[in-house]
Amino acid sequence: MDDIRDCIVVGGGAAGLSAALVLGRARRSTLVIDAGAPSNAPAHGIGGLLGNDGRPPADFYAAGRRELAAYPSVALRAGEVVAGARAGDRITLTLSDGDRVTARRVVLATGMDYVPPTLPGVAERWGRTVFHCPFCHGWEVRDRPLAVLDRGASGVHRALLLRMWSDDVTLLADGPAGLDDGEAASLRAAGVPVDERPVAGLEGPGATLTSVRMADGTARPCGGLLVPVTLRQRSPLAAQLGAVAAAPGFVATDAVAVDAMARTTAPGVFAAGDLTTQMPSVASAVAAGSLAAAMVVQAIVAEGLPATTAPAEGGP
């Protein structure tokens, strides 16, 4: 078993690398364990991250790892954490190769699995011309004929939002749209037509989207498609360590609950990035990772303070 570290960061994406950078600069012994599967890997570039706008995700993560190499207290390790358990004030994590590592605190930055619709043609265009976040991808498909695959109130919300990037937006309900009078009026006022015909699939060369094929055989021109996704925990580690999930939200079904100091309900376990209730974006993840690491350092300092002045490490 390795020596006990100040902190283990599980996940080498935006949140995890950001946390490790702060911990390294604070001279805390830190191990980053990265399974190497960031959720935004298919994307053409990172949208809306200051100083890195449009940068390919792989380049961004490689630059982050190079920066961490300057800090001797930080080690990076490729691998997948498959289990975790607490014994007193120590947290031991087990990797898929059977090795175990131990720390007094853990930052969970394992991300989420993004589950888009199973419509034919989505997978090969995912993160490019088919997307779930217009703030991340809307600029790249601006002024094209765009569509939203959804229905009901969420479909109205997404369609009105997408109108910021194009004057030509259609709501593809793939069946009865389920709109009330007010929702229908809002779409009409915004110039968003509703197509209730069943959708059969997407068309276009490679990752390019040129049209949506309807079940009746006709094709509707489309250069970008906004779809709903479900976010689900990709790792059981949070639950194994005793971190409670938040109530299901608009996108995430089982996000980890954290307080304003990035603490979960499990003592010594912090969380940052998509696996929490924050807005899923690289910019948010970088900020959350930085906060979580700063709170870890504060907790380490508090260990030496009298009980009357040391902040509690409990969760929300």
CATH topology of domain 117-226: FAD/NAD(P)-binding domain (3.50.50)
The residue extents of the domains of the chain are: 5-114+230-302, 117-226
DSSP E strands in the chain: the ranges are 5-10, 30-34, 74-78, 81-87, 90-95, 100-108, 112-115, 130-131, 146-149, 169-172, 194-195, 199-203, 211-214, 219-221, 224-226, 230-233, 269-271
CATH topology of domain 5-114+230-302: FAD/NAD(P)-binding domain (3.50.50)
What are the pLDDT tens digits along the chain (316 aa)?
458 999 999 999 999 999 999 999 999 999 999 999 999 999 999 999 999 999 999 999 999 999 999 999 999 999 999 999 999 999 999 999 999 999 999 999 999 999 999 999 999 999 999 999 999 999 999 999 999 999 999 999 999 999 999 999 999 999 999 999 999 999 999 999 999 999 999 999 999 999 999 999 999 999 999 999 999 999 999 999 999 999 988 889 999 999 999 999 999 999 999 999 988 999 999 999 999 999 999 999 998 766 554 455 656 6
Max intra-chain CA distance, the chain: 73
Q: Which pLDDT belongs to residue 310?
A: 47
218, with CB counted inside 10 A (0-12, 13-18, 19+), is: exposed
| 81-108: pLDDT as tens digits | 999 999 999 999 999 999 999 999 999 9
Whether 117-226 and 5-114+230-302 are alike in CATH topology: the answer is: yes
| Cα–Cα distance measured from residue 9 to residue 79, given in angstroms and rounded to the nearest whole number | 12
pTM to 2 decimal places? 0.92
